Amino acid sequence: PFLGNLLSVNPETVLDTFQEYRRKYGEVFSLITGSKTLVVISGYDTLREIFIKHGDVTSERPDIFITREVGKFKGVATSSGALWKEHRTFSLNTLREFGFGKRSLETRIIEEIEVFVQEIQSKKGEPFNIHSLINVCISNIMCSITFGKRYDHDDKKFLSLLNSINQNLSNENVMFVATVLPFIRYIPGDPFRIKKVLRNVDKVENHLRQLVEEHEQIYDENNLRDYVDVFLKKMKSERNNPNTTFDEDQLLKIVGELFVAGTETTSTAIRWFCLFMIRHPEVQEKMRNEINDVIGTSRFPSLEDKQNLPYCEAVIHETLRIGTIAPLSVPHGLASDLKFNGFTIPKDALLIPNLYSVFFDEKIFPDPYDFKPERFLDEKGNLKNTDKVLAFSLGRRVCLGEALARMELFLFVTSLIQRFTLEAGDIKNIPSEKGTMGITYAPKDFVLKAVPT
C-alpha cells in the first residue's frame, strides 16, 4: 500500500508509527515523500529475505543527501558497486591485521579502560554526566587503530575534532529532512542548518588531513603501525595506475566513517547500559556476582573470560535489543527493480531496514518492553536466541566494526560493574528509557553516581 506524505512521520515518533503501519499494512509498506519512495522492510524473516537472499540487488547505497553531499559516494559506508566491494574488503582485511596487529587490540582497549576507571574514581561518588568521558575513550581506541596513537583527554586538537563530529550528530534531523526534501538546501540562508552540517564535514576532513600529513612524514613501509600506514602503502604501490581508487580523498572518507560510526554507536550502547543498570539494580548485582565468582577484583576482565560470563553477555544483548542503537539502520538502494511477493520495488526507491520491528516483536521477544536479560539464557544458563539481535544490521552491509564494538562493549561494561555501583545522580530525576531519535537512538542526557565497590 502507498501512504501519504512522510512529513506526517515525526523523527521523534517514527518508530512507533512504523510499528503501527506494520500491524496495518504488513511487513513491506511504502511511503511517498517529496521526490522519494521509501519502502520500509519489517520482520526478521522478511529482512533476511530482502537483504540476504536478494543481497545482490539490495546492497547499494541510494543517491541521497548523506551519500552525495556528505560522503561524495566515496568511503565504504556511502559508496556502492565496485568501489565499495574493493574498499570494504581492503578495510576488513587491514582491520583484522591489526588483530589487530603489533600490539593486540585488547591491550589497547584495556589501556583506555584504565584511564576510564581512573577518571571515574576521581569523581569520588559525586554525580556526573558520563557521556563525554565515554566518547573520548572510544574515540581514542579508534585513533590508536587508525593513527597508531592515543590522545590525552585534555588534548585541544583531539577535543576539537570530537566536537565537530558531535555537532553533526546533533544535527541529525537535518539528514532526515534533506533526504526526503532535497531541494531545501537551495533555500536562501540556512534555515535547516544544512550548510552548517557541510561546513562541519569540511572541518572534520581538514583535521583528519592534518593527521594524515603528519603521518606521512614518519611513514616507514617496513614498519606499518596502523590503518593509515597500510592505506598509504597501497596508495604508493598504485601510484602509476590511472584507475586506482586508493587516493587521499578516499582515505579521509574512510577514516572519517571509522570515527563517526565507530565512536557514536559504541558510546551510545555504553550509555544505555549505564541507564539500564541505574534502573535495574538487581541486574547490576547479578552481573557483579558473576564477575566476582569468575574473575575476582585483582585484574580487569579479558576477552578470555567472555565464555564464562553468560549472564553479563545476556545483559549486553538485552542492552543492544532494548537500547536499539540504530533502529532503522542506514537506507539501502537497489541495483535494479526487485520483484517481491507479487509486487515490484522500483530501482530508485529507498529501502529502510526496520530493525526495531524485530527487537520489539512479541513472537520473538515476549514482553518486549521489559528489560529481561534472562530471555537470552536457556535452562542451563547458556546463551540462546542472540542471532535475533540485529544490532549491527544484516547482509552485505553489516557493520564493518562489529567485532571491535563487541570487544569494547564487553570489556568496558564488565570493568565498570566490577569496580563501581551505578546509581542515579538525582533521585528525583531517574533517567527515562525513552530515547531520542538521531543518527543513533540515544538516551537523553543524565547524571549518575559511580560508587566504588
- Tell me the HSE value of 142 on the side-chain side, using a 13 A CA sphere: 27
Question: Which residue, among 184, 162, 214, has the nearest Cα to 65 in the 3D structure?
Answer: 184
What SS3 class is residue 15?
A: helix
Residue with cell 565512536: 263
Which stretch of DSSP H or E encloses residue 41? strand 36-41
The torsion region of residue 367 among left (phi > 0), alpha (psi -120 to 50) and beta comes to left
Residue 40's H or E segment, with its range, is strand 36-41
Contact 100, 145 (CB under 8 A): yes
* Cα–Cα distance, 201 to 206 (Å, whole number): 9
Q: How far apart are CA 271 and CA 291, in angstroms?
A: 20
Nearest to 286 by CA among 371, 363, 408: 371
From the number of C-beta atoms within 10 Å of its C-beta (0-12, 13-18, 19+), residue 88 rates as middle
In 341-445, where do the E strands start and end?
Answer: 343-345, 350-353, 420-424, 436-437, 441-442
* Secondary structure letter of residue 52 according to DSSP: I
Q: State yes or no: 137 annotated in a binding site.
A: no
- DSSP codes joined into one string, 231-261: HHHHHHHTTT-TT---SHHHHHHHHHHHHHH
Would you state the cell numbers that stand for residue 230, as one nine-digit string?
A: 597500510
Annotation: binding site for heme: 399
Which residues are annotated as part of the binding site? Answer: 399
